[in-house]
Amino acid sequence: MSVIDLVPYEEALASYDPVMGLEVHVELGTKTKMFCGCATVPGAEPNTQVCPTCLGLPGSLPVVNAIGVESAIRIGLALNCDIAEWCRFARKNYFYPDMPKNFQTSQYDEPIAFNGYLDVELEDGEVFRVEIERAHMEEDTGKSTHVGGATGRIHGAEYSLLDYNRAGIPLIEIVTKPIVGAGDRAPEVARAYVAELRELIRALGVSEARMDMGQMRCDVNLSLMPKGADKFGTRSETKNVNSLRSVERAARFEIQRHAAVLNEGGTIVQETRHFHEDNGTTTSGRIKEEAEDYRYFPEPDLVPVAPAREWVEQLRGELPELPRLRRQRLQSEWGISAVEMQSALNAGAIDLILATIDAGAPADQARKWWLGELARRANEDGVELAELPITPAQVARVSALVAEGKLTDKLARQVIEGVLAGEGGPDEVVAKRGLAVVSDDSALGDAIDAALAAQPDVADKIRSGKFAAAGALVGAVMKATRGQADAARVKELIFEKLGVTPE
Amino acid sequence: MPGITREEVAHLARLSRLELKSEELDHFAEQLNDIVDAVARVSEIAAEDVPPTSHPLPLTNVMRADEVRPSLRPDEVLAAAPAAEEQRFRVPQILGED
């Protein structure tokens, strides 16, 4: 593979307009597969969740999962799509060992949902409408393990091992119309779209949409056309881009790569490309097969799906509050800016903050802890905020201890550290580490006496009305008590001892 | 209706991962042509008032509740596998891919 010199991003965008198409596969969280009753438990022993139907054995017949269809309709409705009055499944024929049937049951020219849109909000609050071409039902493929060769990849492998537990798990594929007009914000739009879609899928409760677990996967189609042109260029399709950050990076890399090829008078090959998380580049995959090579035809073993209008309207009526509207509502309830809300969303903190408020914490405190100390820790550990070993109720308890004056912010951070380290709940950590604020007057009295004795000049200043000077004495007491004193109480006691009453 | 060519048979064979000899390409092109001709006779009878159909029964919305049914045991699953390893199907090197 030849190494190409990428065109700097700004330079590429000065000459070309990017056009993107995003294909997102969502694995539904149904109990069973799309066309058979096999379980879908993640992490099961290989080939323990397969049956004659998902193995494609002779004589087996598929029957569609009602929740699979319902979920597809709900996703379609949430994406403002039309719902087909009548549609069929189709066989997508290809010979590859990840499907034992030698075809994938999918939908072709009759998707269950089509013609919708999703409004996505960029960092600065600008709203960009992404048009949806279609959402259709299909099934996932099996998992291959490549054996031999240097890297465990297909290349150079001697043979492959197949586990079909995943084969047949319901997938909804959501395809955008060409996204034009995003200009230099195209990578940002791609990321924001996938992020918003993920929120939507989670709000609908049809999947946890964990990208790191492959429950949501994105293919990024990208092409460039010279500025002012109206004919799309040839596209590349970067497969299985599996984090929000990677979606943005993949789009950015492809813009720079396409520009480099086009600037040199080359032509873009229509192909699939692999994204590499480690360095943010893509490399050539296989030459894309033409749609006709899949020899789609209507699935003869399944009858058409014709969702009754009453059912569709009932599902529409039961849709949850959509994430963007919910964020707008929470933003005004919490009294924060759009940018602050966006950062809460990006950190995956909204539901955690809400749960913390539900557990009794004030909104500003809930936000402060999740977006401050805890976001920092999650970032350091490279995990999602929700994966930190601390619950919203525990954060609320820390917040309550601070409000009651039993912890200072500094001590509270140590308590959180203890909870994250598995030392128990907040109260347990306070007890074990001896972190409670010293506000017991007698315990503080000695430290205050010592501070007054050590700094008689400061004491005189306070007596003469320079109350701000008390800071130096408070600092000395805090130091003497290793930060465990209640600073406000210390100040009160100092004034009391000196017999002054500050305004 | 144009007939099926040798090249189309070769293309189909590649998609189906079948290795065909030169004389087989001609042989199958002829056979496929006969099949296509036979099927084409249906359209002589089906007028415009007969919609294309993929299913002989006037059924829609046959669905199943999302309830788990027993799967096969792994030894049953792998019983007919030409090769297995680590409770997985073992398949030859996947060619034509990188």
pLDDT of the residue at B90: 95
Supply the DSSP symbol for A106. E
- Cβ of B95 under 8 Å from any chain A Cβ? no
CB-nearest partner of A65 from B64, B78, B94: B64
AA identity, residue A101: K
Amino acid letter, residue A319: L
Identify which of A200, A199, A191, A261 has the alpha carbon closest to the alpha carbon of residue A220. Answer: A191
Write down the residue that tokens 């291959």 correspond to. A144
* Cβ-Cβ contacts under 8 Å for A84 (sequence gap 6 or more): A110, A111, A112, A113, A114, A305, A307
Question: In this structure, what DSSP letter does residue A290 have?
Answer: P
Identify the three-state secondary structure at position A183.
Answer: helix
DSSP per-residue letters across A414-451: HHHHHHHTTS-SHHHHHHHHT---B--HHHHHHHHHHH
User: Do A418 and A424 meet the contact criterion of CB atoms below 8 Å apart?
Assistant: yes
Give the 3-state secondary structure of chain B. CCCCCHHHHHHHHHHCCCCCCHHHHHHHHHHHHHHHHHHHHHHHHCCCCCCCCCCCCCCCCCEECCCCCCCCCHHHHCCCCCCEECCEEEEECCCCCC
Q: Cβ contacts (< 8 Å) between A45 and chain B: which residues?
A: 74, 87
Helix (H) or strand (E) holding A12: helix A9-15
Residues of B in contact with A88 (CB under 8 A): 54
For residue B51, the chain A residues in CB contact (below 8 A) are none
Nearest CB to A66; choose among B64, B86, B93: B64
The whole-angstrom distance between A146's CA and the closest CA on chain B is 9
What does R_g of chain A's alpha carbons equal in angstroms?
Answer: 30
Task: Give the three-state DSSP class for A252.
Answer: helix
* Cα–Cα dist A257/A238, whole Å: 12
| Residue in A30, A88, A285 closest to B54 by CB | A88
Residue A199 CB neighbours (<10 A): 21
Inter-chain contact A304–B77, Cβ cutoff 8 Å? no
Residue type, A123: E
With 0-12 / 13-18 / 19 or more C-beta atoms within 10 angstroms meaning exposed / middle / buried, residue A212 is: exposed
Chain B partners within 8 Å of A306 (Cβ): 60-61
Helix (H) / strand (E) element for A139: namely strand A127-139
A-contacting residues of B 9-48, CB under 8 Å? 15-17
- List per-residue pLDDT tens for chain A, 503 residues long: 456 788 999 999 999 999 999 999 999 999 999 999 999 999 999 999 999 999 999 999 999 999 999 999 999 999 999 999 999 999 999 888 899 999 999 999 999 999 999 999 888 888 999 999 999 999 999 999 888 766 656 666 789 999 999 999 999 999 999 999 999 999 999 999 999 999 999 999 999 999 989 999 999 999 999 998 989 999 999 998 999 999 999 999 999 999 999 999 999 988 899 999 888 899 988 766 666 789 999 999 999 999 999 999 999 999 999 998 999 999 999 999 888 888 888 888 999 999 999 999 999 999 999 999 999 999 898 888 988 999 999 999 999 999 988 888 888 999 999 999 999 999 999 888 887 776 667 777 888 888 888 888 888 888 888 888 888 888 888 888 877 787 888 888 888 888 888 76
B/e letters for A368-388, b = 16+ CB within 10 Å, e = fewer, are bbbbebbbebbeeeeeebeeb
Sort out which chain A residues have CB atoms less than 8 A from B17's CB and list them: 95
**Residue A112 with chain B: CB contacts under 8 Å:** none
Residue given tokens 């200072």 in the structure block? A408
Which 3 state secondary structure label does DSSP give A454? helix
Q: Give me the pLDDT at residue A45, please.
A: 97
Chain B residues inside the 8 Å CB shell of A64: 62-64
Question: Which one of 1.10.3470, 1.10.10, 1.10.150, 1.10.40 gives the CATH number of domain A441-498?
Answer: 1.10.10
Helix axes A487-498, A441-454, angle to 10 degrees: 60
Supply the pLDDT for residue A152: 58
Chain Cα centroid distance, residue A279: 21
CATH class in words for B6-45: mainly alpha
A293 with B15: Cβ contact below 8 A:
yes
Within an 8 Å CB–CB cutoff, is residue B54 touching chain A? yes
- A307–B69 C-beta distance less than 8 A: no
- Which residues of chain A are within 8 Å of residue B68 when distances are taken between CB atoms? 31-32, 37-39
Look at A50 and B78 and tell me if their CB atoms are within 8 Å.
Answer: no
The type of residue at B28 is: F
> Residue range B39-62: average pLDDT?
83
Residues of A within 8 A of B63 (CB-CB) are 63-66, 69
Give the integer Cα–Cα distance in Å for A192 and A196: 6
Which residues of chain B does A31 touch, with a Cβ-Cβ cutoff of 8 Å?
66-68
Q: Which residues of B touch A67 (CB under 8 A)?
A: 66
Residue B81 scores a pLDDT above 60 = yes
Taking CB atoms and an 8 Å limit, are A159 and B74 in contact across chains? no
Do B91 and A39 make contact, defined as CB atoms within 8 angstroms?
no
Angstrom distance (rounded) from CA A247 to CA A244: 5
Residues of B whose CB is below 8 A from A305: 60-61
Round to whole Å and give the CA distance between A100 and A64: 18
Q: Radius of gyration over alpha carbons of chain B, in Å?
A: 22
Residue with tokens 């798990």: A169
Amino acid type, A193: Y
Closest alpha carbon to B61 in A273, A66, A162: A66
* B87 with A39: Cβ contact below 8 A: no
Six-digit token string for A152: 């465990």
- Helix, strand or coil for residue A109? coil
Q: And the tokens for A37?
A: 């009753």
Comparing CB atoms, the residue among B88, B96, B97 nearest residue A47 is B88
Structural domain boundaries of chain B? 6-45
Pick from B60, B69, B91: which is nearest to A303 by CB? B60
User: What is the predicted pLDDT for the residue at B98?
Assistant: 40
- Find, among A365, A367, A359, the residue nearest to A394 by Cα: A359
DSSP state of A36: S
Q: What is the Cβ-side half-sphere exposure of residue A282, based on CA atoms within 13 angstroms?
A: 32
Residue in B closest to A273 by C-alpha: B98
pLDDT score recorded for residue A248: 95
Beta bridge partners of A134: A114, A175
- Spell out the domain ranges in chain A: 9-314, 347-433, 441-498
Coil, strand or helix: which one is A288? coil
User: Best interface-test mutation with A: which of B14, B16, B39, B64 has the largest number of A CBs within 10 A?
Assistant: B64
Whether A350 and A324 have beta carbons less than 8 Å apart is answered as no
Residue A147 to chain B, least CA–CA distance (Å): 9
SS3 A75: helix
The pLDDT, as a whole number, for residue A1 is 44
CA dist A330 and A199 (Å) reads 15
Q: Looking at CA atoms only, how far is residue A127 from chain B in angstroms?
A: 38
Collapsed DSSP state (helix, strand, coil) of residue A293: helix
> Which strand ranges, in their side-by-side order, compose the sheet holding A159-163?
A143-147, A159-163, B88-92, B84-85
Inter-chain contacts counted by CB atoms under 8 A, chains A and B: 134
A-interface mutation test, from B63, B73, B75, most A Cβ less than 10 A away: B63
Q: Which residues contact A70 (CB under 8 A, 6 or more apart)?
A: A315
Phi-psi region of B28 (alpha: psi -120 to 50; beta: other; left: phi over 0): alpha
> What is the distance in angstroms between the Cα of A304 and the nearest Cα belonging to chain B?
5
What type of residue sits at position A300? P
ipTM: 0.88
Dist CA A362 CA A369 (whole Å):
11
Cross-chain residue pair B62–A46, CB shorter than 8 Å? no
